[in-house]
């Protein structure tokens, strides 16, 4: 049966509630400040190689290693322009509303059966609830900008979330059925014999596609389609506020790659015959691998049209996901 | 061992720290970044010409029906998760019952599709 180890490494090591709380909070914040930057760096380099771009390859001489630092310095020095017509407060709050949910999400991501922050018994439910908060920030940004392009972009973002939240949730539900637990650690422990991508390859596909759409990453980047609506909800943003939207996007890539790894790729479980490599490295490798695929897709596929995007979700992904829920149900009871 | 609510303390702490982080970063940027507002710079962007009309104009919300469907299926998901955790112990009966529930909703989706409301018009 599933080994439910409820005690994290930090809890074994420290016994004061407040001390544990502070250490855990710092770890989460620290992870959030490092991991998305790593993904941002990866995006620079991977896209530069795939599209033969020279831009990101200059700063700091060797392979453009200082490009990310240069970007950071540039963003913080830029003038913060808030249009006169905009709703100042909502406009300024929006980047925070987009960013903070992704920070909270990392609380439940396990890196081994002892290295996790919190093993919530409703883990995956928490993840799904928290990820959908960000779109409110995008809507706030679009509406508060008082710009027509921003408004169109924000409405597209909301439409996209509405369409792709369901396949995501239903695919996750099928995993919960097989694992018989909602806890993230529990789901990983249930994959000791084989990863769920083996039994639910369709679910994995649905989850990754829906996650891409939820992140508004290409080929699902209609809400920021630069050839028709400038930059969607982010059109009026400059400087650090704009950078925070980008940080949220990269944070989202890390977060949803981590969730997909936990649900389908066995989380921190090592691949067969390779269990000499420590568990946290496996988790990091799976997150990195999935993030690479997400970036790769950006260089490969053209943007989809809004109506195609809705059709795919409502007429393909959702019926498939519903069918899978029932199929997993019958098979699980039968065997 | 901490109580149930105490275990959520770390979620709360991370949320508060995250909000603090955003506030501090924006505060720092305010100190570092230049501020030289001029009327034309603060004008709403509209491809280089002066903006026509208001930004808060009426726009057609095209996914009104999708919104309804979403609420229906999202409520279904809320029912699905508790069931998914324990259905194995309840046997075929539980699966068939959930099948009927999903089936009714799927027929609804089929109806919406045949009626042509799932068209981005």
Residue A153 clears pLDDT 90, i.e. is over it? no
Q: What sections of chain A are H helices per DSSP?
A: 9-13, 17-50, 67-77, 88-105, 123-131, 134-144, 148-179, 184-189, 196-199, 201-214, 226-229, 239-264, 279-300, 306-311, 318-334
What are the tens digits of pLDDT across the range A46-70? 888 888 887 777 777 777 788 888 8
Considering the domain boundaries, does residue B119 fall inside one? no
Residue A218 clears pLDDT 70, i.e. is over it? yes
CATH number at residue B50: 1.20.58.1610
**Residue from the list B28, B44, B47 with its beta carbon closest to the beta carbon of A85:** B44
Q: Which of A173, A185, A226, A242 to mutate to test the interface with B (most CBs of B within 10 A)?
A: A173
Interatomic CA distance for residues A102 and A249, integer angstroms: 9
Q: Which domain holds residue B32?
A: 4-114
Q: Which pTM was predicted?
A: 0.86
Instruction: Identify the weakest region by mean pLDDT among A220-229, A237-246, B2-11.
Output: B2-11
Q: What ipTM describes this predicted complex?
A: 0.81
Q: What distances in angstroms separate CA A257 from CA A168, A188, A208, A293, one per listed residue? A: 13, 14, 8, 10
**Residue from the list A22, A79, A103 with its beta carbon closest to the beta carbon of B35:** A79
Considering the domain boundaries, does residue B121 fall inside one? no
Interatomic CA distance for residues A219 and A206, integer angstroms: 15
Considering the domain boundaries, does residue B97 fall inside one? yes
Split at pLDDT 50, 70, 90, the class of A257 is very high
Question: With an 8 Å Cβ cutoff, is B117 touching chain A?
Answer: no
Does the beta-carbon distance from B22 to A311 stay under 8 Å?
no
Question: In A, which residues are within 8 Å of B46 by CB distance?
Answer: 147-149
- Reference A241, options A89, A127, A115, A101; nearest CA is A89
Instruction: Determine the average pLDDT of the residues in A121-142.
Output: 87
Percent of chain A with pLDDT over 70: 96
For residue A4, the model assigns a pLDDT of: 41
Percent of chain B with pLDDT over 70: 88
Q: Which of A4, A18, A21 to mutate to test the interface with B (most CBs of B within 10 A)?
A: A21
Split at pLDDT 50, 70, 90, the class of A27 is confident
Instruction: Determine the average pLDDT of the residues in A73-82.
Output: 84
Q: What is the DSSP letter of B29?
A: H
Split at pLDDT 50, 70, 90, the class of A293 is very high
Comparing alpha-carbon positions, the chain A residue that sits nearest to B61 is A155
Residue A11 clears pLDDT 70, i.e. is over it? no
Question: In A, which residues are within 8 Å of B44 by CB distance?
Answer: 83-86, 145-147, 236
Split at pLDDT 50, 70, 90, the class of A260 is very high
More confident of the two residues B41 and A293: A293
What are the tens digits of pLDDT across the range A82-131? 888 888 888 888 998 999 998 888 888 888 877 777 888 888 888 988 88
Does the beta-carbon distance from A325 to B102 stay under 8 Å?
yes
Instruction: Determine the average pLDDT of the residues in A259-267.
Output: 89
| Overall domain count for chain B | 1
Does the beta-carbon distance from B98 to A92 stay under 8 Å?
no
Q: CB-based burial of residue A52 (10 Å sphere; 0-12 exposed, 13-18 middle, 19+ buried)?
A: exposed
Question: With an 8 Å Cβ cutoff, is B38 touching chain A?
Answer: no
Interatomic CA distance for residues A53 and A67, integer angstroms: 13
Considering the domain boundaries, does residue B73 fall inside one? yes
Residue A292 clears pLDDT 90, i.e. is over it? yes
Question: In B, which residues are within 8 Å of A307 by CB distance?
Answer: 119-120
Does the beta-carbon distance from B14 to A28 stay under 8 Å?
yes
Considering the domain boundaries, does residue B61 fall inside one? yes
Question: In B, which residues are within 8 Å of A244 by CB distance?
Answer: 22, 25
Nearest-CA distance B63 → chain A (Å): 6
For residue B1, the model assigns a pLDDT of: 52
Split at pLDDT 50, 70, 90, the class of A2 is very low
Considering the domain boundaries, does residue B81 fall inside one? yes
| Average pLDDT score over chain B | 80
Nearest-CA distance B65 → chain A (Å): 11
């Amino acid at each position: 049966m599933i080994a439910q180890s409820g005690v994290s490494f930090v809890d074994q090591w420290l016994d004061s509630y407040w001390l544990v709380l502070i250490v855990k909070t710092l770890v989460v914040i620290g992870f959030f400040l490092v991991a998305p930057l790593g993904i941002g760096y990866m995006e620079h380099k991977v896209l530069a190689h795939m599209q033969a771009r020279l831009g990101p390859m200059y700063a700091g001489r060797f392979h453009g290693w200082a490009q990310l630092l240069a970007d950071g310095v540039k963003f913080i020095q830029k003038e913060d322009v808030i249009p006169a017509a905009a709703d100042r407060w909502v406009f300024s709050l929006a980047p925070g509303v987009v960013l903070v949910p992704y920070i909270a999400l990392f609380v439940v991501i396990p890196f081994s059966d002892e290295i996790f922050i919190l093993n919530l018994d409703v883990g995956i439910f928490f993840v799904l609830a928290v990820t959908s908060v960000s779109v409110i920030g995008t809507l706030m940004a679009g509406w508060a900008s008082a710009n027509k392009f921003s408004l169109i972009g924000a409405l597209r973002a909301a439409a996209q979330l509405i369409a792709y939240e369901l396949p995501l949730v239903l695919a996750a539900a099928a995993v919960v059925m097989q694992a018989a637990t909602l806890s993230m650690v529990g789901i990983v422990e249930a994959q000791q014999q084989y990863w769920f991508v083996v039994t639910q390859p369709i679910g994995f596909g649905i989850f990754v596609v829906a996650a891409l759409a939820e992140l508004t990453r290409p080929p699902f980047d209609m809400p920021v389609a630069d050839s028709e609506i400038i930059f969607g909800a982010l059109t009026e943003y400059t400087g650090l506020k704009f950078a925070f939207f980008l940080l949220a996007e990269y944070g989202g890539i890390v977060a949803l790659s981590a969730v997909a790894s936990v649900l389908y790729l066995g989380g921190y479980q090592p691949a067969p015959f390779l269990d000499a490599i420590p568990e946290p490295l496996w988790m990091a490798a799976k997150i990195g691998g999935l993030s690479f695929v997400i970036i790769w897709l950006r260089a490969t596929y053209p943007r989809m049209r809004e109506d195609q995007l809705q059709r795919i979700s409502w007429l393909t992904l959702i019926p498939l996901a519903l069918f899978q829920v029932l199929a997993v149900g019958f098979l699980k009871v039968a065997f | 061992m901490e109580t149930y609510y105490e275990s959520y303390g770390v979620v709360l702490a991370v949320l508060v720290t995250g909000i603090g982080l955003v506030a501090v970063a924006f505060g720092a940027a305010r100190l570092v970044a230049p501020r030289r507002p001029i009327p034309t710079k603060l004008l709403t962007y509209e491809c280089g010409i002066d903006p026509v009309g208001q930004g808060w104009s009426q726009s057609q919300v095209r996914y009104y029906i999708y919104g309804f469907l979403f609420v229906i299926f999202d409520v279904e998901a809320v029912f699905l998760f508790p069931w998914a955790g324990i259905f194995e112990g309840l046997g075929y009966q539980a699966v068939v019952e959930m099948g009927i529930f999903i089936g009714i909703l799927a027929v609804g989706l089929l109806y919406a599709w045949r009626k042509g409301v799932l068209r981005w018009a």
